[in-house]
Amino acid sequence: MTVEAHEQLTPAGILLDGFLALGTPEGFRAELIEGEIVVQPLQDGNHEHCVNAVIKQVLRNSRTDMDFSGNKGLELPGSEDRPRNHAIPDGTFAPTERRLFRGADPWMPPQGVALVVEVTSTKPQADREAKRRCYARGGIPLYLLIDRDDSSVTLFSEPEGDDYRQHITIPYGKPLPLPEPFAFDLETGDFG
């Protein structure tokens, strides 16, 4: 029996197969985060406004030319008893020179991603904890969390194992320094 065939017979493999075969209703999106299938409706206008504000600033101010993908599926490492995670960040940035999104599968690996962005919505705790762990496990260098409940913005950096070693949290209205390859201060006054 191959390793792949053995994985499919485990509870984690069965869950992953079920998730990948899931037909998500129109107007919803589904993710597999730390062994839980999460189905959410599409986001409201204030949510999208925050994502749009980040996109505009990155494309205008970043030291490195960046490509952006909204709602790009990322396949991230799981654990022994949980299948690979399948997260859909609200925004994913990668250096243009990498051409990361061109020809990518619907669920692509995270290698080459510079920054993911999440804006809290119906399950804010998942953005604050479970997704943060998934992005760290995937080695994504920067995770930007816009927390609408707390009116704050957090930048997580230096992924190691299941978490990020560094983070800085600021209230809306204060500039947030983004490190290389971005190298500019993100203005947050328009998020609230």
Q: What is the pLDDT of residues 106-125, one digit of tens each?
A: 999 999 999 999 999 888 99
- For β-strands 176-178 and 184-186, DSSP reports them as antiparallel
- Count CB-CB contacts under 10 A for residue 164: 21
Residue 166 has pLDDT above 50, yes or no: yes
pLDDT digits (tens, 9 = 90+) for 60-98: 999 999 999 997 999 999 877 778 899 999 999 999 999
Chain centre distance of CA 39: 15
Domain boundaries, the chain: 44-186
On the 0-12 / 13-18 / 19+ scale of CB atoms within 10 A, 23 is exposed
Q: What is the pTM for the complete model shown?
A: 0.84
pLDDT score at 1: 39
Residue 45, pLDDT above cutoff 90: no
Domain 44-186 classification at class level:
alpha beta
Q: Report, in angstroms and rounded to the nearest whole number, the Rg of the chain calculated over CA atoms.
A: 17
Give yes or no for a contact between 66 and 113, defined as CB atoms under 8 angstroms apart: no
